[in-house]
DNA sequence: GTCTATACTAGGATAGAC
DNA sequence: GTCTATCCTAGTATAGAC
């Protein structure tokens, strides 16, 4: 990892944990092992570092999803893997960031913050959600062809609903101490298939959530 | 409104729009019409103002929900009103705060931020979610007695899922520009009832979302 | 209860040597 | 590419008069 990458790496960690304003470049410099002023050789200002960090975060999640979804053909498996990998990614962010559980860190919360402060990020964030939406819609369409999923559902609406569901679960995990994501996860999947699964399909059985770690890029 | 209330009022508005760090007490003082130093006669420090603001925000939402749900007996109506009033509350926050649409403001996003910065808020936030969860669970239980809702569902899991759904929709509205909450809202309600509604119930029809403004406390 | 004046600090950013 | 030194500003907070 070169210095530039180290700066991004440490900054993203700090942004996720402390937020943009509470992340000091002095601390980042110390973590990287250089002096504060040296950061300005690599980046114009703090905002540029933030932009790069967000882009790096997005590409990391995308890779995680791709690794998890790639090669799978069955619609249920794809949708399940996608949901699982996003939740798992967020769930493990705190460990990846090197802090012990504490607060449930959330990638989309940081994106949302960035978006408000720096509207330029809109393109990147939209692009991220487009990717998820399209992956879901493809799976839904093929699932409707295979009779895994009822035809009555509009694929785009369903995709929106699934994304909202994931985001909501992650947000609630951060905010509501009585909400344990691992307890509701199975019922979340069950209810989704109960709703959209096609009864005419031969193998209608629900997925069982397997509590195995999914592969996450381990650069942290 | 006395000075203390004015300070809370203006602070909350600013916290919602700009976040904690980007809210300056100078600006708050100007909005209130006093000098910055005078704030410290009413509050020990910025943190205390934030605490009070969050508590005021929570009580405002609770009142909004209570106004909307109160007096209704039918489970579907109650659940529908609750979801609707939370979404509507968030949806209208920006107008209430006096800024023109811009970013979709979200009450729970501010709570989540506060929680991370000031763990003392945990009690208040948990209390808020407890209130929503209990309201939902009561409705679900009575709905299961009346055969409006299938008995197979665990009320607590269902409540969690509904809350997640709402939060997710609000977050996505803030972050994903292609996501229009008013377009997906009807399908969100439809899908919920398709899932949990009891077919044995006589009047099984779905709710139609009525795009009327719900009453929101108009102190702002 | 509100004001003026002022202390104090953190943190982003720049200049210029090596 | 990294360092030392320095600038600058914003923003919280306090002291004490009225």
Domain assignment of residue A163, yes or no: yes
| A135 and A164, same domain (yes or no) | yes
Domain assignment of residue B217, yes or no: no
| A78 and A162, same domain (yes or no) | yes
| B73 and B177, same domain (yes or no) | yes
Task: List Cβ neighbours of A44 (8 Å cut-off, separation of 6 or more).
Answer: none
Between positions 42 and 71 of A, the ones with CB within 8 A of B are none
Q: What is the DSSP string of chain A?
A: --HHHHHHHHHHHHHHHH-STT--HHHHHHHHTS-HHHHHHH-SSHHHHHHHHHHHHHHHHHHHHHHHHTT--SHHHHHHHHHHHHHHHHHHHHHHTTS-S-S---HHHHHHHHHHH-GGGHHHHHHHHHHHHHHHHHHHHHHHHTTSB-TTS-HHHHHHHHHHHHHHHHHHHHH-TT--HHHHHHHHHHHHHHHHB-TTSS---PPPPP-PPPP-----
For position A136, what pLDDT does the model report?
98
| A82 and A32, same domain (yes or no) | no
Task: List Cβ neighbours of B201 (8 Å cut-off, separation of 6 or more).
Answer: B146, B147, B148
| B104 and B189, same domain (yes or no) | yes
For position B217, what pLDDT does the model report?
42
CA closest to C1' of D14 belongs to B37
- pLDDT tens readout for residues B43-86: 999 999 999 999 999 999 999 999 999 999 999 999 999 999 99
Domain that holds residue B24: 1-43
Looking at chain B, which residue has its C-alpha nearest residue A197?
A: B195
CA distance B7 to chain A (A): 23
Among A7, A18, A109, smallest CA distance to A53 is for A7
Q: Is the pLDDT of residue B210 over 80?
A: no
DSSP letter assigned to residue B121: G
Number of structural domains chain B divides into: 2
Domain assignment of residue B216, yes or no: no
Helix/strand/coil percent split, chain B, to 5: 70, 0, 30
Among A127, A133, A93, smallest CA distance to A110 is for A93
Q: Is B208 on the interface with A (CB under 8 A)?
A: no
Q: Is the pLDDT of residue B214 over 60?
A: no
| B115 and B93, same domain (yes or no) | yes
What are the backbone angles phi and psi of residue A56, rounded to the nearest 5°? Answer: -65, -40
Instruction: Write out the two tokens for A200.
Output: 């005419």
| A168 and A73, same domain (yes or no) | yes
Q: Is A184 on the interface with B (CB under 8 A)?
A: yes
**Packing angle, helices B181-196 and A155-175, rounded to 10:** 90
Question: C13 C1' – A69 CA distance, angstroms?
Answer: 44
Q: Which nucleotide is nearest to A3 (CA to C1')?
A: D1
Q: Three-state SS for B47? A: helix
DSSP letter assigned to residue B45: S
Task: List, chain by chain, residues whose CB lies under 7 Å from nucleic acid strand C.
Answer: A 22-26, 36-37, 40, 44-47; B 3, 34-38, 41-42
Which CATH number characterizes residue A3's domain? 1.10.10.60
Low-confidence ranges of chain A (pLDDT < 50): 204, 211-218
Domain assignment of residue A59, yes or no: yes
What are the backbone angles phi and psi of residue B197, rounded to the nearest 5°? Answer: -65, 140
d(C-alpha A91, C-alpha A112), whole Å? 18
Domain assignment of residue B215, yes or no: no
Question: D18 C1' – B44 CA distance, angstroms?
Answer: 22
Question: C13 C1' – A204 CA distance, angstroms?
Answer: 61
d(C-alpha A130, C-alpha A151), whole Å? 22
Q: What is the DSSP string of A56-93?
A: HHHHHHHHHHHHHHTT--SHHHHHHHHHHHHHHHHHHH
| B91 and B191, same domain (yes or no) | yes
Q: Is residue B188 a contact partner of residue B164, using CB atoms and an 8 Å limit?
A: no
Q: Is A140 on the interface with B (CB under 8 A)?
A: no
Domain assignment of residue A49, yes or no: no
Q: Is the pLDDT of residue B140 over 90?
A: yes
| A84 and A37, same domain (yes or no) | no
| A77 and A18, same domain (yes or no) | no
| B38 and B61, same domain (yes or no) | no
Domain assignment of residue A213, yes or no: no
For chain A, the first-to-last Cα distance in angstroms comes to 11
- Residue A34 CB lies within 7 Å of the nucleic strand D: yes
B178:A109 CB<8 A: no
For position A103, what pLDDT does the model report?
78
| A68 and A35, same domain (yes or no) | no
- Residue B1 CB lies within 7 Å of the nucleic strand D: no
Q: Which nucleotides of D are covered by protein (CB under 7 A)?
A: 1-6, 10-16
- Residue B51 CB lies within 7 Å of the nucleic strand D: no
Q: Which residues of A touch B163 (CB under 8 A)?
A: 168, 172, 176
Domain assignment of residue A210, yes or no: no
Q: Which nucleotide is nearest to B47 (CA to C1')?
A: D12
- pLDDT tens readout for residues A36-92: 999 999 999 999 999 999 999 999 999 999 999 999 999 999 999 999 999 999 988
Which CATH number characterizes residue A90's domain? 1.10.357.10
For position B133, what pLDDT does the model report?
98
d(C-alpha B158, C-alpha B150), whole Å? 11
d(C-alpha B29, C-alpha B10), whole Å? 9
Mean pLDDT in residue range B131-142:
98
d(C-alpha A11, C-alpha A53), whole Å? 7
Q: Three-state SS for B169? A: helix
CA distance B194 to chain A (A): 7
Residues for chain B: how many in total? Answer: 220
């Amino acid at each position: 990892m070169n210095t530039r990458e180290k700066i991004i790496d440490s900054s993203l960690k700090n942004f996720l944990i402390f937020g943009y304003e509470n992340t000091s470049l002095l601390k980042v410099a110390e973590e990287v092992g250089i002096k504060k002023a040296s950061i300005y050789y690599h980046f114009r200002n703090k905002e540029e570092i933030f932009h790069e960090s967000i882009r790096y975060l997005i590409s990391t999640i995308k890779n995680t999803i791709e690794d998890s979804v790639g090669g799978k053909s069955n619609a249920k498996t794809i949708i399940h893997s996608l949901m699982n990998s996003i939740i798992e990614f967020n769930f493990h962010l705190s460990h990846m960031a090197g802090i012990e559980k504490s607060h449930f860190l959330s990638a989309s919360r940081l994106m949302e913050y960035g978006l408000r402060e720096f509207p330029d990020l809109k393109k990147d964030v939209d692009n991220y959600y487009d990717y998820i939406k399209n992956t879901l819609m493809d799976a839904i369409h093929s699932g409707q062809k295979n009779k895994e999923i009822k035809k009555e559902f509009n694929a785009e609406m369903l995709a929106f609903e699934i994304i909202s569901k994931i985001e909501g679960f992650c947000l609630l995990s951060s905010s509501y101490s009585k909400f344990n994501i691992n307890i509701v996860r199975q019922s979340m999947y069950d209810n989704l298939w109960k709703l959209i699964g096609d009864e005419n399909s031969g193998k209608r059985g629900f997925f069982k959530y397997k509590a195995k770690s999914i592969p996450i890029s381990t650069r942290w």
